[in-house]
Each structure stands twice: as C-alpha cells, then as structure tokens.
Amino acid sequence: MIVFTKPACYNRPLGVPMRTPLAIKGIGDRLVISLPQGEWTTILPDLMHAIDERGDFFKGAKVALQVDDRELGPAQLVALRQALAQREITLWALLATDESTCAAASKLGIDIDVGSPSHQTEEDDYVFDSDLPGDEAILVERTLRSGQRLRHPGHVIVFGDVNPGSEIVAGGHILIWGRLRGTVHAGAAGDESATVCALDMMPTQLRIASHIAVSPKRRGRPHPEVAFVRDGQLIAETWENSERS
C-alpha cells in the first residue's frame, strides 16, 4: 500500500475540508443539487459559496434544485435564478413538493416536472439512488495528449494513455486502461467515494474530491493500481492487494 505524499506547497491549504457538502446527482447532461436542511437565507449564500468553490465545474451546466417542502416565493426564486445565471448556470428545474413554491416556479417559467423525482416512482429510484454523482460514463477510445482536457459530470473511462499535460475532471470514477501520466480529478463535485484506476499509475497530480496528491517515485515495474480516499488520506493500492471489493 502506498500512501500518497501531499505536495509540500500548493496554492490551496491542504487538510482543510474545502467543499461544503452538497448532494449532486446527474441525469444525462444535467445535474440535480439537493439542498441541505436549514434556513433559506443561509442556504442560498452557502450554495453559491459551494458552487464558487468548485471552480468552473458547474459553468454552463443545467441544474435542477431539489428544495423538497420549502416554501419559496417568486422574489426568492428570481434571486436564486439570477445568482445562478451570474455563474453561467441555467436553472433548469425546481424539485419542490410545496404547492405555493410550485406555483411560483411555473409562473416564472421554471420547470417543476423532471420526470417528477420529487414524487418518486421505481424507475426514478434507480436514477437517483446511485451513490455517485452522474450515472453516465463516457468512453474515450484514444490517447489523451498534452493540452487536451476532458470534463464530464459522470464517470470517465479512457481506453488509451493519459499523457503528461492532459487533464481529466470527472464527477465520478476515472478508469484508465493504459498509462496515467496527466492530471486527473475524480469526484470533482465533492464525492469522496470516487476512485481512480489505472494500469500504470504515475499521474502528474491526482485529486479525489478535495484531496490532492502527487505520485511518489516508482519502485519496480508498473502494476494496475486503484486510488481512493480512506480516513481523509489519498491512498493507492495495487489491484491485487486491494482491500476494496
């Protein structure tokens, strides 16, 4: 088992949790954010803060907010939509159970029906109960070369090499069937259960959720490895010895 060494210096403080917990799930190319419990007046700034913390992960995204039974008036919804628009995020729908909130949303032209996950059916359970953000994976069947960037809210599978100078940012897992030499960020929206797997793991930098590590010097031959977060630490294990099932 290799414990990744954290870089001595990085432009963000390490060891401090950077991300506010936010439950994000994906349907196709769209995202659903479930808001935590609490007062709306504190939740809205918290949400914006959480979005800002994630850099441009959300930029250009279509987002639905799960507000459950909160009562929200038109003024609050307009403020919400404007705050999101400033960050180049489209408020695509509101998942609300409160009737007055639903009425206010429809008046403003905000969708309240996204296959109705607020009134869940069995099929929706399947979509939304995944414990990882983004249920869809993309398969990239080529080598990612220097300067090429790949962003995806779900999982990313690369059938080829990931060369130095390239970058992958994924909401979920990252699987590399080849050599990993570039920078990868799994669980970019804050999911600590995301993993990075590679046949030959020597990334320039490896990130899972808010954890950052650089590869230690390789000893011996390359072997398939899986990197994950355990007890707040980024760990890489060889596939054969992995304790994860």
Partner 1 sequence: MTAKVVTITSGKGGVGKTTATANIGVALASLGHPAVCIDADIGLRNLDVIMGLENRIVYDLVDVVEGRCKLRQSMIKDKRVPDLYLIPAAQARDKTSVSPQDMIRLCDELRSHCEWILIDSPAGIERGFRNAIAPADLVLIITNPEVSAVRDADRIIGLIEAEGKGPGQLIINRLKPEMVKKGDMLGEEDILDVLAIELIGLVPEDDAVITASNQGNPVALNASSSAGNAFRDIARRLNGEEVPFEPLYDQQGFLKRISRLVRSGGDR
Question: For partner 1, which stretch binds (CB under 8 A), given 18-26, 39-47, 138-146, 227-235?
Answer: 138-146
Cβ closest to partner 1, residue 74 vs residue 165: 165
Whichever of 97 and 143 has its CB closer to partner 1, that residue is 143
**Pattern 163-182, binding to partner 1, x per CB under 8 A?**
xxx-------------x-x-
Token pair of 140 as six digits: 């990239």
Residues 50-89: x where in contact with partner 1 by CB under 8 A, - otherwise, as a string = ----------------------------------------
Query: In the set 19, 30, 87, 145, which binds partner 1 (CB under 8 A)?
Result: 145
74/160 with CB nearer partner 1: 160
Choose between 90 and 143: whose C-beta lies nearer to partner 1.
143
Contact indicator for 171, 63 with CB cutoff of 8 Å: no
Residue 161 is a binding residue for partner 1 (CB under 8 A): yes
Q: Which of 48-56, 68-76, 82-90, 142-150 is the region at the interface with partner 1 (rule: CB under 8 A)?
A: 142-150
- Taking the least distance from each CB to partner 1, the nearer of 192 and 200 is 200
Least distance (Å) between residue 147 CB and partner 1 = 4
Please, are residues 174 and 197 in contact by the beta-carbon 8 Å criterion?
yes
Nearer to partner 1, 46 or 200 (CB): 200
Does the footprint of partner 1 cover residue 222 (CB under 8 A)? no
Residue 148 in the binding site for partner 1 (CB under 8 A) = yes
- Residue 160 within binding range of partner 1, rule CB under 8 A: yes
Q: What does the H/E/C string look like for the chain?
A: CEECECCCCCCCCCCCCCCCCCEEEEECCEEEEECCCCCHHHHHHHHHHHHHHCCCCCCCCEEEEEEECCCCCHHHHHHHHHHHHHCCCEEEEEEECCHHHHHHHHHCCCECCCCCCCCCCHHHHHHHCCCCCCCCEEEECCCECCCCEEEECCEEEECCCECCCCEEEECCCEEEEEEECCEEEECCCCCCCCCEEEEEECCCEEEECCEEEECCCCCCCCCCEEEEEECCEEEEEECCCCCCC
CA 189 to CA 89: how far, in whole Å?
Answer: 15
The reply to whether 193 sits near partner 1 by the rule CB under 8 A is: no
Q: Is 146 in the site for partner 1 (CB under 8 A)?
A: yes
Cβ neighbours of 204 (radius 10 Å): 17
Residues that bind partner 1 in the complex, under the rule CB under 8 A? 142-143, 145-148, 160-161, 163-165, 179, 181
